[in-house]
């Protein structure tokens, strides 16, 4: 039943509920697809065949017995290897955690289990989520199903590639500066960075605590909203978790854009964008207007400082968050004469170059005499960006613009130029700094048959309007998420188109 892998999560949920297919069959079909393709895509660090089939079997048994089931019972999912799974390797794609098996489950993992989602495996990523290409994994690169010579984006490139490759209808990623939206754009799928504090960070291995947020990947807007609904909500174990009730993401999702005001961010449309990206974004904005939205021109004057602020705040927090990998309590240990030597040797051997680079930047930025010029100043820029957004949202309900300046680049193209890699996040970073939600929606292909993503941004807890706009455009554009082109992965059940 290889056709099963082309289904959306909502379709699978309904087929399962109607008894037309079993959860085991659904899991097996996806595991077969992984086996057939993952040697080339390398989306997964670990495939959990046994656990997935056992869980699916349990869902089938409980369904047969008439026991209560979670809202996504039997729907498979690819989980980024940054979320703690009890007794199962959780590596963050780092040598330093290669053998680490957490003694506890992340809150998101618990919620996925409560939803009866079947976790197929743990996906590749840039080490500790630091990167935009998944080339910084200590274990393997991941390849873009649309062009196997290109990167899937990052840092959540494993999950985005898995969803794009039809290995799973749903994926979980994390987004600190664009790590869900950018790979979603590169892989032609939907990716959502929710409002900061909407999804628990407990058990999410920290990169930059004030920016990190877990979010969904899917091949449809509705699927993404369904998955977000399953994982969102207050968690007393995370002090930064929003205590108010989560919004209803699905209630108005099909209402269309009539009457909504859509702001186009002037600074994002100005320069630096590839022509293919620009053309698709312009078309999408025109479609929105046709569909009844009021399009307004807005400005985020301080957004251009976002990358600079981000590359001070995120490495500063990371330098402290990653201190604990010292060879004492868990993970890699490289011997040394003294405890200090052991720690320094362990960290030298256990971290890759990008992680070391960011630890060094952050340590420097926080060190005596530099805190005010760097960290504190970056936090001031953050205030200005939040004010910019507030002014923009006085004129509109959501903002749109490109997710990334370019489509997927080739493997190796930017690895030697860290700053160029960082500038890839120029459009995604402002939402992280503002703690606001944003989504990337595939809106078409460029001249190389590579997907282009439109970013839809909303104010804090404005996910319903964000989903509504994305859903309306999705329905209108009818983008086909099947990878195609000269060097694409073959479609399920057939050769590459």
SS3 348: helix
Q: Exposure pattern of 59-95 as b/e (b: 16+ CB <10 Å)?
A: bbebbeeeeebbebbbbbbbbbbbbbbeebebbbbbb
Q: For residues 20 and 337, which CB has a smaller minimum distance to other proteins in the complex? A: 337
What is the SS3 assignment for 88?
strand
Pairing label, strands 261-265, 294-298: parallel
User: Which residue from 289, 329, 283, 316 is spatially nearest to 445, judged by alpha carbons?
Assistant: 283
Is residue 260 within 8 Å of 397, Cβ to Cβ? Answer: yes
Tell the smallest beta-carbon distance from residue 357 to other proteins (Å).
Answer: 6
What minimum distance in Å lies between the beta carbon of 301 and other proteins? Answer: 10
Distance CA 353, CA 410 (A): 20
160 vs 213 by CB, closer to other proteins: 213
Strand order in the sheet with 294-298: 44-47, 118-123, 76-80, 170-175, 213-218, 190-193, 438-445, 451-457, 398-402, 261-265, 294-298
Q: Is the preceding peptide bond at 155 cis, omega within 30 degrees of 0?
A: yes
Q: How far is the CB of 304 from other proteins (least distance, A)?
A: 9
Residue 29 or 436 having the CB closest to other proteins: 436
Q: Is 245 helix (H, G, I), strand (E, B) or coil?
A: coil
Give the position of tokens 């909504």: 260
The nearest distance, CB 85 to other proteins, in angstroms, is 10
CB of 115 vs other proteins, minimal distance in Å:
20
Please identify every residue annotated as catalytic. 80, 155, 179
The first and second tokens of residue 116, run together, are 């009866």
Tell me the two tokens of residue 203: 């058990």
Q: What is the spatial distance between Cα 411 and Cα 473, in angstroms, rounded to a whole number?
A: 31
Judged by beta carbon, residue 414 or residue 471, the one nearer other proteins is 414
β-sheet bridge partners, residue 175 = 213
Contact 482, 497 (CB under 8 A): yes
Min separation Cβ 247 and other proteins, Å = 14
How is 184-204 classified by DSSP, letter by letter? HHHHTSEEEEPPTTSB--TTB
**C-alpha–C-alpha distance, residues 175 and 438, integer Å:** 10
Minimum distance from residue 345 beta carbon to other proteins (Å): 5
Element (H, E) at 441: strand 438-445
Nearest CB to other proteins, comparing residues 30 and 111? 111
439 touches 269 (CB < 8 A):
no
Nearer to other proteins, 220 or 316 (CB): 316
End-to-end CA distance of the chain: 20
Nearer to other proteins, 398 or 473 (CB): 398
User: Among residues 277 and 460, whose Cβ is nearest to other proteins?
Assistant: 460
**What residues are paired with 174 via a beta bridge?**
214
**Minimum CB separation from other proteins for residue 184, in Å?**
22
């Amino acid at each position: 039943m290889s056709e099963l892998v082309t289904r959306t999560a909502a379709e699978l949920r309904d087929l399962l509920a109607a008894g037309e297919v079993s959860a085991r069959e659904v899991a097996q079909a996806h595991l077969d697809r992984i086996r057939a393709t993952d040697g080339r895509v390398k989306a997964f660090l670990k495939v959990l065949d046994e656990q997935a089939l056992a869980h699916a079997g349990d869902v089938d048994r409980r369904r047969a017995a008439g026991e209560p089931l979670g809202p996504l019972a039997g729907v498979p999912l690819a989980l980024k290897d940054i979320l703690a799974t009890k007794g199962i390797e959780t590596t963050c794609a780092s040598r330093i955690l290669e053998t680490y098996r957490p003694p506890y489950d992340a809150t998101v993992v618990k919620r996925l289990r409560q939803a009866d989602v079947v976790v197929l495996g743990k996906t590749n990523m840039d080490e500790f989520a630091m990167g935009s290409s998944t080339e910084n994994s200590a274990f393997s690169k991941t390849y873009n199903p649309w062009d196997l010579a290109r990167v899937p984006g990052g840092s959540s490139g494993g999950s985005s590639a898995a969803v794009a490759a039809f290995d799973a209808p749903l994926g979980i990623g994390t987004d600190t500066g664009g790590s869900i939206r950018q790979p979603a754009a590169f892989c032609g799928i939907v990716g959502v960075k929710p409002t900061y504090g909407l999804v628990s960070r407990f058990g999410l291995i920290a990169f930059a605590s004030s920016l990190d947020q877990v979010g969904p990947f899917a091949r449809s807007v509705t699927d993404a909203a369904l998955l977000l609904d399953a994982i969102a909500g207050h968690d007393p174990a995370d002090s930064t978790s929003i205590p108010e009730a989560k919004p209803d993401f699905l209630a108005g999702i099909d209402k269309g854009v009539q009457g909504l005001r859509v702001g186009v961010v002037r600074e994002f449309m100005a320069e630096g964008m590839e022509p293919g990206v620009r053309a698709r974004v312009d078309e999408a904005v025109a479609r929105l207007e046709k569909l009844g939205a009021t399009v307004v021109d807005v400005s985020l004057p301080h957004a251009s400082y976002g990358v600079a602020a981000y590359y001070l705040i995120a490495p500063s927090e990371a330098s402290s968050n990653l201190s604990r990998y010292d060879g004492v309590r868990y993970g890699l240990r490289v011997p040394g004469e003294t405890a200090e030597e052991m720690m320094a040797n362990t960290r030298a051997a256990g971290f890759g170059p990008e992680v070391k680079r960011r630890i060094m930047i952050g340590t420097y930025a926080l060190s005596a005499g530099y805190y005010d010029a760097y960290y504190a100043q970056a936090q001031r820029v953050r205030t200005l960006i939040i004010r910019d957004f507030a002014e923009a949202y006085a004129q509109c309900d959501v903002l749109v613009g490109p997710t990334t300046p370019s489509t997927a680049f080739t493997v190796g193209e930017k690895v030697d130029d860290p700053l160029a890699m960082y500038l890839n996040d120029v459009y995604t970073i402002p939402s992280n700094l503002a703690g606001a939600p944003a989504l990337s929606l595939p809106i078409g292909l460029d001249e190389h048959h590579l997907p282009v993503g439109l970013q839809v941004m909303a104010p804090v807890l404005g996910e319903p309007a964000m989903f509504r706009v994305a859903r309306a455009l999705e329905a209108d554009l009818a983008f086909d998420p099947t990878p195609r082109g000269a060097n694409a992965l073959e479609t399920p059940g057939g050769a590459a188109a």
